A = this chain, B = another copy of it.
Amino acid sequence: MSRSVKEGLARARELILSHRRFVILEHEKPDGDCVGSSLALALALEKWGKQALIVSDDPHPVIYDFLPGQEHFTRTGYLGLADFHADVAIFLDCGEPERCGRALPFAQKAKYWVNIDHHVSNTKFGDAVLVDPSAAATGEILWYLFGELGVNIDARIAVCLYVAVLTDTGSFRYENTTPRALRMAADLIEKGARPQEISELVYEAKPLSSVMLLGEALQTLEIHAGGKIACVSVTREMMKKVAATSEDTEGIITYPRSIQGVMVAVQFREADEGVHVSFRTRRAVDASRIAETFGGGGHPRAAGALIKGKTLPEVKTLVLEEVRRVLEQNPDLVVKA
């Protein structure tokens, strides 16, 4: 554990122990780590007789409805700023305060800010900075914090933290699947988290429309560049046909990427504002560099861009040409088979 993490732990401990009312802030469009972490923290604070309120700009995805602690959750707009006065605001999984959107005013009323996150890009804001980029999830950092605070992890808290680490490691498949993350998961099972039940609830409670949309999108699967590029399209017509929401489009791009030999997977999606293009790449190709060519951005393995004023077929021609160019002109970017 680094010195800054140790210091952050100590300072966060101090601020939490010496105050009574907490507001917990999540980033916009909260994911499993964010939701699991904030519920776990609210439940832990509740155990000590503290008041904890989670305020979020967006709802929690319905698949996390099974998690305990939801009674601590509210959305901006449902609660007036005057209704809850917090001593301390705790930001979870937010690289910068602005990431919590319209929930930020609730934090601005608090005396102290605690910043708990695992993103390397975190701006280190706040009075207590507990940022550990080596943690697989923000939930993993809470695990240490609870240890530091002497919280007795019960089954309800264990389930929330398990969801945090399970989802942020992609069911223990991503690079952040560290020995520490796996050992924490093992401990959480001993404390009452049921891995199969949780995995079923998280990964096997898909809306019918999302499975149908996947079927539609796979019909458009195309392979280019001798198998190195695979792309799929999601049209407005398809979305309408299966009554899909934009959430249903998530995950579709993992299918072209999962094909043997594919280096770059591309998804084109028609929307009112233009054509959304998503990129997923294998290790040797930088997705964010491709996305930047089209005014977008992202991470080395996952990036995207929004292209306006063109039809899907036009965007497709344009983008595939660029991806082909990247693969051809940068042979060092291409993994040797």
Contact = CB atoms under 8 A, between A and B. Distances in A.
Interface of A: 171-175, 177-180, 182-183, 185-187, 189-190, 195-196, 199-200, 203-208, 211-212, 214-215, 217-219, 221, 223, 227, 254-260, 282
Most buried by B among A190, A204, A206, A256: A204
B173 A173 contact: no
Copies of this chain per assembly: 2
Given A185-B182, A190-B179, A211 B218 contact: yes
A206 to B, nearest CB: 5
A218 B208 contact: no
Contacts of A182: 182-183, 185-186, 189
Which 6 A-B pairs have CB atoms at the shortest separation, nearest pair first? A215-B218, A179-B186, A173-B199, A182-B186, A177-B195, A204-B258
A74 to B, nearest CB: 25
Given A173-B200, A177-B195, 10 more contacts: A172-B185, A172-B199, A174-B196, A177-B196, A182-B189, A205-B260, A206-B260, A212-B218, A214-B218, A219-B219
Nearest to A257: B204
15 contacts: A171-B171, A171-B172, A172-B172, A179-B189, A183-B183, A183-B186, A186-B186, A204-B254, A207-B259, A207-B260, A208-B259, A211-B256, A212-B218, A212-B221, A215-B215
Nearest to A214: B218
Contacts of A196: 173-175, 177
A211 to B, nearest CB: 6
Contacts of A260: 205-208
A260 B221 CA distance: 26
A163 to B, nearest CB: 13
A160 B62 CA distance: 38
A134 to B, nearest CB: 14
A171 B217 CA distance: 25
A254 B180 CA distance: 30
A333 B139 CA distance: 36
Contacts of A215: 214-215, 217-219, 221
A257 B257 CA distance: 23
